[in-house]
Amino acid sequence: MRRVSAALVVVALGAVPALAADPARDAIVAAYAAQAKQQDAGFSGFSAARGEALYRLRHTVNPEIASCSTCHTDDPTKPGRHAKTGRVIEPVAVSANPKRFVEADKVEERFMRDCKSIFGRVCTATEKGDYLTFLINR
Ligand code: HEC
């Protein structure tokens, strides 16, 4: 009897999808963590607060697109708008858009492109992980 009820509890828990959890996204974050450790011996985990600062920080490399929030909006749970083309960009906060950050190639390609246009350089693995951690928890 006891055994049966324990099994039922397990089944019930398994049936409830964890909102933000996604194995593909977890794997992307884990890969950046491994890279960050290689790049920096003092790496001690990603920070949503640092990710948010990165998201909002204004740069002067390209005045038309001064920050990530220029296109992805101040409130990442809202749809953004491409500063140059005017095209709508789906929200980047995972709570508002569960399909975010699940394709490693797309994520890496966009980091490459967007970091270069806004910061004038590529982002480090720590910056990428911080950015994802901010938006996964938003
Ligand atoms: C000029 C407008 C623009 C700016 C500024 C911008 N992005 Fe993007 N970003 C896009 C577009 C367009 C996409 C692709 C469309 C989509 O994913 O909805 C995208 C997608 C992404 C993705 C992939 C999302 C996914 O679901 O896989 C990442 C990561 C990203 N951007 C990071 C950044 C970072 C970091 C910054 C600031 C350094 C930034 N972006 C600034 C336009 C921009």
Integer CA distances (angstroms), 101 to 55, 110, 116, in order: 15, 10, 19
Nearest to 134, CA basis, from 74, 49, 33, 67 = 49
Question: What's the pLDDT score for residue 19?
Answer: 57
CA 10 to ligand 1 centroid distance, Å: 38
Question: What's the pLDDT score for residue 2?
Answer: 53
Give the residues surrounding ligand 1 with Cβ less than 6 Å away.
65, 68, 70-72, 82-84, 89-90, 100-101, 103, 106-107, 110-111, 114-115, 118-119, 131
Question: What's the pLDDT score for residue 99?
Answer: 96
CA 57 to ligand 1 centroid distance, Å: 15
CA 56 to ligand 1 centroid distance, Å: 13
Token output for 36? 């960050």
Query: Which residue is listed with tokens 């001064």?
Result: 66
90 contacts 98 by C-beta, under 8 angstroms = no
Question: What's the pLDDT score for residue 63?
Answer: 86
120 contacts 59 by C-beta, under 8 angstroms = yes
Q: First-to-last CA distance in the chain? A: 42
Q: Average pLDDT by consecutive 10-residue portion of the chain (138 residues)?
A: 49 48 95 96 96 95 92 97 96 97 98 96 97 97
Residue 33 to residue 121: CA distance in whole angstroms? 20
Residue 42 to residue 103: CA distance in whole angstroms? 28
Question: What's the pLDDT score for residue 21?
Answer: 82
Question: What's the pLDDT score for residue 89?
Answer: 98
Question: What's the pLDDT score for residue 9?
Answer: 47
